[in-house]
Amino acid sequence: DGGITQSPKYLFRKEGQNVTLSCEQNLNHDAMYWYRQDPGQGLRLIYYSQIVNDFQKGDIAEGYSVSREKKESFPLTVTSAQKNPTAFYLCASSISGAAEQYFGPGTRLTVT
């Protein structure tokens, strides 16, 4: 059963702590993406990766970091430098060159 998994579904952290969100896909997709959604807003691109060991900044990369050591995995670290980390985070993947992206279920991060 192919798909994208994100864990955990809900995550709570204290301000000042780094936190890593997991994203795994078994669709054999080359490209992976991280988005953030805030209430009443669309999805904003944080980072994306078109191939293993390569990634690019999206529109709102400040305060975030990623790695792409394996094709299946694209973890996102929300660092203490991110000023407003509380949000719903979505991971997606796509076939290389295709516009259609397929999304995971999301992780809701709350930082207090």
Partner 1 sequence: DQQVKQNSPSLSVQEGRISILNCDYTNSMFDYFLWYKKYPAEGPTFLISISSIKDKNEDGRFTVFLNKSAKHLSLHIVPSQPGDSAVYFCAASGIGQGAQKLVFGQGTRLTINP
Half-sphere exposure of 16 (CA within 13 A, CB side): 0
- Which of residues 11, 13, 50, 61 is near partner 1 by CB under 8 A? 50
**H or E stretch covering 20:** strand 19-25
75 is an interface residue for partner 1 by CB under 8 A: no
Q: Which of 18, 56, 22, 6 is nearest to 46 (CA)?
A: 56
Binding part of the chain for partner 1, among 3-11, 13-21, 63-71, 75-83 by CB under 8 A, reads: 3-11
Binding part of the chain for partner 1, among 13-21, 31-39, 60-68, 79-87 by CB under 8 A, reads: 31-39
